[in-house]
Amino acid sequence: MRQHLFIKFSLLALVCTGVSSCSKKSGSNPIPDPVPLPLNFVAAKLGSNNAQTSFINYNIATNIAVRLSFNNSLDRTTVANAISLSENGVVSVPVGFSYENNDSTVVITASAALKNLTKYTVSAATSLQSIKKAALNTVFSFQFVTQIDSTDKFPIISDNALLDTIQRRTFKYFWDYGHPLSGLARERNNGSAETVTTGGSGFGIMTIPVAINRSFITRAQGLTRMQTIVSFLKNTAQKFHGAFPHWLNGSTGVVIPFSTKDNGADLVETSYLIAGLLTARQYFNGVDAAETALRSDINSLWNGVEWSWFRKANENVLYWHWSPTYNWDMNQKIAGWNECLITYIMAASSTTFGIPNIVYKEGFARNGAMVNNASYFGYQLPLGPANGGPLFWAHYSFLGINPNGLVDLYANYQTQVTNHTKINFEYCKANPHGFFGYSNACWGLTASDVPGGYNANEPNNDIAVISPTAALSSMPYTPTESMNALKFFYYKLGDKLWKEYGFVDAFSLKELWFADSFLAIDQGPIVVMIENYRSQLIWNLLTSCPEIKNGMKNVLGFTAPYL
């Protein structure tokens, strides 16, 4: 009986519960649809490799497929308007889309091959939705740079023909672009057309014997240009105690200040100019009236430089600058190791205003403080700072002074310039910063134009800019490495680098930046040092000067086979 009553009451309770629930109005409290998960970006791939979304991806194939993965399946109808590929972040690239992983991965393929050495941006907007209509939680983008086009940009020619091509085109900077009135070298092609450089003109003068010997111009043409240059320097250009300023107005000869207080003599630039003039004096050795007069005028300029006056108060050091308005205010001693050995050689060789050995010993050599002798990348560096400094230090003093077999109290200069260059090469090859483009065929750090300015590029101050003059002007020291660089610059990057006056001043594959400039101080050493590699012409000319032989051997204490 009790069991029967329990069942009865239980059934009643169930019925009442059912009635109670049915008594509520239909739809007054519906069960809501579940909120869709936010759409999140998960990962990206370039081909089969994971892409870095916080950094630029380099060396990417031009037929690459880009894969973007998300945490949910995509609504395909929203993809085309939300996901894009653009060239340099500006030009839209036509693409197609396909899908993987149940539509949670979209594969982006360009309709045509991408351009080489070009930066592309992949972007996704919040208009992208999942199949459940959840919007992408935040926009994102990442960038990649395509690989170098490995095809040859010009027909392959013999090494000798290639060197001729490089020298001939680079010489045009001085010949075709030289100032029409003074004949001097303009500082740069993208600056004032009136600004000529004295040091760069010295380098340019050295290219004239090269051009004559290589039949780029005739001897008569070279002589005429030298007569124009020397006449302007002798009769028109401003001089200060016989020394020239860094820059001159190519028409008037009036100094153009290099900086506020650098508005007078620049002894280092003067030494480059005089070295060039003495080279020309030795080359134009004819007995006719024209060449005889040219040599006489060059001697007048050479003998007029008051090298010893730049000791200031008879100190045992030379000073770089003197200003007619600021006097010695710049107060910059010419002390080594750097590009200024030639300044002391010129000063010691002067028969009119010479300096004694002690000025070289205490001033430039700093009583031996310029000595290094540490090793970098397995090469001992006799002189200078760690890793050698910018490569123009191995070039400017040695455009006319042969370092082979050259020794003094402080260094073997053949070892110095060779090991400096090899350290620079090995550094670029090792590429400790991982800069895109550096390799055993793409190397060379020296002072040059850089994006937004100018920089003394070297291993301790490396901003991913390669300067062609660095490797090419090192041809006598590292012929194999320099020739490999030359071929890479010409054949592989020629569409970017090879222009009207030879190779542009500098470039950065990391930044996809290619200079539009040519600088006299960078173009000149290319012509001269390639020639020294081929024939030692300029080395033989300058070191044939009896004054130079005497100054180097008897005043400074150098020994060399040619002294």
User: If you average pLDDT over residues 415-439, what whole number do you get?
Assistant: 98
Residues 258, 133, single domain; the answer is: no
Q: Please check the confidence at residue 478 and state whether its pLDDT lies above 80.
A: yes
Contact, 494 vs 153, CB < 8 A?
yes
Cβ neighbors of 412 (< 8 A, separation 6 or more) are 382, 406
Q: Please check the confidence at residue 26 and state whether its pLDDT lies above 90.
A: no
> Does the residue 84 lie in any domain?
yes
Domain boundary among 100, 120, 146: 146
Contact, 177 vs 224, CB < 8 A?
no
CA 480 vs CA 207, 277, 446, 486: distances in Å? 23, 31, 19, 10
> Is residue 20 very low, low, confident or very high in pLDDT (cuts 50, 70, 90)?
very low
> Is residue 37 very low, low, confident or very high in pLDDT (cuts 50, 70, 90)?
confident
Task: Single out the residue of 479, 487, 471 nearest to residue 428, CA to CA.
Answer: 471
User: If you average pLDDT over residues 17-26, what whole number do you get?
Assistant: 40
Contact, 197 vs 246, CB < 8 A?
yes
Residue owning tokens 């027909």: 155
Burial label, 91 (beta-carbon count in 10 A; 0-12, 13-18, 19+)? exposed
Distance of alpha carbon 486 from alpha carbon 475, whole angstroms: 9
* Residue range(s) defining the domain that contains residue 129: 41-146
Which residues on neighbouring strands pair with residue 91, listed in sequence order?
Answer: 87
Q: Which pLDDT score is estimated for 34?
A: 66
Residues 525, 469, single domain; the answer is: yes
> Does the residue 31 lie in any domain?
no
User: Dihedral (C-alpha) 426, 430, 436, 440: value to the nearest 10 degrees?
Assistant: 40
Residues 99, 174, single domain; the answer is: no
Max avg pLDDT among 13-17, 35-39, 154-158: 154-158
Residues 185, 101, single domain; the answer is: no
Structure tokens at 287: 């007995």
Which residues on neighbouring strands pair with residue 197, listed in sequence order?
Answer: 247
Strand 57-60, strand 140-146: pairing:
parallel
> Does the residue 174 lie in any domain?
yes
CATH number at residue 94: 2.60.40.1220
Chain CA centroid to CA 462, Å: 10
> Is residue 11 very low, low, confident or very high in pLDDT (cuts 50, 70, 90)?
very low
User: If you average pLDDT over residues 393-415, what whole number do you get?
Assistant: 98
Q: Please check the confidence at residue 187 and state whether its pLDDT lies above 90.
A: yes
Count of domains in the chain?
A: 2
Tens of pLDDT, residues 69-108: 999 999 999 999 999 999 998 999 999 999 999 999 999 9
Phi and psi at 264, nearest 5°, equal: -140, -130
Tens of pLDDT, residues 276-304: 999 999 999 999 999 999 999 999 999 99
Instruction: Count CA atoms closer than 13 A to 344's CA, side-chain side.
Output: 29
Q: How many helices and strands, by DSSP H and E, does the chain display?
A: 16, 23
> Does the residue 330 lie in any domain?
yes
Domain boundary among 146, 169, 188: 146
Domain boundary among 146, 176, 192: 146
Phi and psi at 109, nearest 5°, equal: -130, 125
Residues 324, 435, single domain; the answer is: yes
User: If you average pLDDT over residues 239-264, what whole number do you get?
Assistant: 98
Cβ neighbors of 117 (< 8 A, separation 6 or more) are 145, 146, 147, 148, 149, 496, 509, 512
Amino acid at 206: M
Residues 283, 196, single domain; the answer is: yes
Q: Please check the confidence at residue 3 and state whether its pLDDT lies above 80.
A: no
Residues 472, 510, single domain; the answer is: yes
Distance of alpha carbon 169 from alpha carbon 499, whole angstroms: 9
Residues 296, 441, single domain; the answer is: yes
User: If you average pLDDT over residues 57-62, what whole number do you get?
Assistant: 98
Residues 180, 140, single domain; the answer is: no
Residues 409, 286, single domain; the answer is: yes
Distance of alpha carbon 20 from alpha carbon 423, whole angstroms: 92
> Does the residue 480 lie in any domain?
yes
- The number of beta carbons lying within 10 Å of the beta carbon of residue 100 is 11
CATH number at residue 535: 1.50.10.140
To which H or E segment does residue 12 belong? helix 2-22
Q: Which pLDDT score is estimated for 278?
A: 99
Q: Which residues of 498-531 are buried (b: 16+ CB within 10 A; e: fewer)?
A: bbebbbbbbbbbbbbbbbebbbbbbbbbbbbbbb
> Does the residue 17 lie in any domain?
no
Amino acid at 306: E
Amino acid at 99: Y
Q: Which pLDDT score is estimated for 24?
A: 39
Structure tokens at 478: 């590292």
Residues 104, 228, single domain; the answer is: no
Which residues on neighbouring strands pair with residue 28, listed in sequence order?
Answer: none
**Helices 198-213 and 267-283, axial angle in degrees (round to 10):** 20
Residues 360, 437, single domain; the answer is: yes
Distance of alpha carbon 319 from alpha carbon 204, whole angstroms: 25
- The number of beta carbons lying within 10 Å of the beta carbon of residue 460 is 14
pLDDT mean across residues, the chain: 94
> Does the residue 297 lie in any domain?
yes
Q: Please check the confidence at residue 14 and state whether its pLDDT lies above 60.
A: no
Q: Which pLDDT score is estimated for 25?
A: 43
Q: Which pLDDT score is estimated for 31?
A: 62
Contact, 146 vs 114, CB < 8 A?
yes
Structure tokens at 366: 């700093």
> Is residue 141 very low, low, confident or very high in pLDDT (cuts 50, 70, 90)?
very high
> Does the residue 25 lie in any domain?
no
Structure tokens at 23: 């008594």
Structure tokens at 210: 């090269």
Burial label, 377 (beta-carbon count in 10 A; 0-12, 13-18, 19+)? middle
Q: Please state, for a pLDDT cut of 70, what percent of the chain lies above it.
A: 94
DSSP state of 226: H
